[in-house]
Amino acid sequence: MKNKFLLLLILGVTFFASCNDDDDDKVRTYNGDSLSLSVGGINFSDREAVLNGSVLTLKQALPGENETEFTIIREGNKITGVNSNANREVALNGTIDGDKLGLNLTLKVKSSMKAKWDVKKLFLNVEPEYIVEEGEPDLVGLVGMLGSMVSYIMPNISFEEDGNIVAYYCKDMANMGNPEAYENSPKGMALYNVVDNKIYIALNLSGIVEDATTPKAESSIGRSDYNPLTSLMAMVDTGLPLYLRDGEEGLKEVYVDREMMLPVVKMLPSLLSAYGDKLGDYKETLEQIVAALVPLVENSEVVELGLQLAPYTEIPTPATNVQSLSKMIENASLKFVK
């Protein structure tokens, strides 16, 4: 009798263990409300995770990666895993609670891009050489004249180890050059990932909109509550690809090419038409710039627009103010139309 009871007990345990193994072996897909995903402190929606045994595949979880695969370890309802390559290591911590999956990814960037950089200038390269006809706007010349002004507005930018991008920028244009007029952007607004020769940047759109429209104290970061490019920013939810190349003397250049710019510049005339009245005194100038930019991108073989970065130094931002900045703009405007 005891032997029969022991046999039934063994069979029962085996049965339930088999059922549990079968349940674990089922391929499960998590998306929508069944998946919560945080990467580097930024919450992302509209993602998908597929669990097949001990392999968890995340789709578009990291900027520039269609799929990121983890071999997970389970301890109760908790799961952990690591995925690593030459440019980054990402650690996964999560929980499986019924039909819901909660994941937190922590990035550790290993790419040489991980550093603090001085912003040297904005550049525009065009091939073949853009010939400006009499009376037409000289857009290339204008960018060349004004490109160095970027270093006054945003002196440096940090690509941090946890994948966050933090910009040091002027929040008070009237006191440009005064250290008190500058502030770091908050973390959790932009995430980067280096894949091959590109750097992919994903924006926390909801966080940016909330930060831009929420009233701030005087000591907080001040942003405009109007952003006509919000609809364009939706394009970088999963990672806008920017080319990355090394320049001379340790410089880095981060830029977009003609193929990336073309669909965007084609949208600019309609955006100006819809929002131009809110641009005030800048409307006419921007209309001229857009009118020159669209055919420039359409008709050129090579177009590169980007930032030139240099290794960070402790040299203070050159003192300037709105008056001197206005003078620079005025001088540039004289050459805008030949």
Residue 291 inside a domain? The answer is yes
pLDDT > 50? residue 226: no
Short-list 187, 227, 242, CA closest to 63: 242
Burial level of 174, CB count in 10 A (0-12/13-18/19+)?
exposed
Mean pLDDT of 7-21: 47
pLDDT given at position 205: 62
Domain shared by 33 and 141, yes or no: no
Q: Which residue has the higher pLDDT, 187 or 280?
A: 187
pTM: 0.77
Q: How confident is the model at residue 38 (pLDDT cuts 50, 70, 90)?
A: very high
Domain shared by 198 and 256, yes or no: yes
Q: How confident is the model at residue 247 (pLDDT cuts 50, 70, 90)?
A: confident
Domain shared by 27 and 173, yes or no: no
pLDDT given at position 224: 39
Q: Which residue has the higher pLDDT, 176 or 316?
A: 176
From 109, 128, 157, the end of a domain falls on 109
Cα–Cα distances (Å) from 89 to 56, 121, 231, 338, in that order, read 16, 31, 32, 52
pLDDT given at position 141: 78
Residue 11 inside a domain? The answer is no
Domain shared by 184 and 279, yes or no: yes
Short-list 262, 268, 245, CA closest to 302: 262
Domain shared by 57 and 85, yes or no: yes
User: What is the DSSP secondary-structure string of 257-283?
Assistant: -HHHHHHHHTTHHHHHHHHGGGGGGGH
Domain shared by 180 and 79, yes or no: no
Domain shared by 176 and 293, yes or no: yes
Short-list 150, 204, 165, CA closest to 329: 150
Rounded CA-CA distance 86/110 in Å is 7
Short-list 186, 205, 162, CA closest to 39: 162
Chain centre distance of CA 61: 13
Residue 274 inside a domain? The answer is yes
- Residue-range definition of the domain harbouring residue 35: 22-109
Short-list 155, 139, 142, 147, CA closest to 123: 147
Domain shared by 168 and 304, yes or no: yes
Rounded CA-CA distance 271/22 in Å is 55
Domains contained in the chain, number? 2
From 109, 142, 164, the end of a domain falls on 109
Is the CB of residue 127 less than 8 Å from the CB of residue 302? yes
Is the CB of residue 253 less than 8 Å from the CB of residue 309? yes
Domain shared by 233 and 101, yes or no: no
Q: How confident is the model at residue 235 (pLDDT cuts 50, 70, 90)?
A: low
pLDDT in tens, 284-304: 777 777 888 888 899 899 999
Residue 13 inside a domain? The answer is no
Q: Which residue has the higher pLDDT, 24 or 148?
A: 148
Check residue 148 and report its DSSP letter.
G
Residue 263 inside a domain? The answer is yes
pLDDT given at position 194: 95
Residue 313 inside a domain? The answer is yes
Residue 222 inside a domain? The answer is no
Q: Which residue has the tokens 């006509």?
A: 228
From 109, 130, 162, the end of a domain falls on 109
Rounded CA-CA distance 201/237 in Å is 8
Residue 15 inside a domain? The answer is no
Domain shared by 165 and 179, yes or no: yes
Q: End-to-end alpha-carbon separation of the chain, Å?
A: 106
Burial level of 326, CB count in 10 A (0-12/13-18/19+)?
exposed
pLDDT in tens, 195-210: 988 999 998 766 665 5
Domain shared by 26 and 142, yes or no: no
Domain shared by 48 and 147, yes or no: no
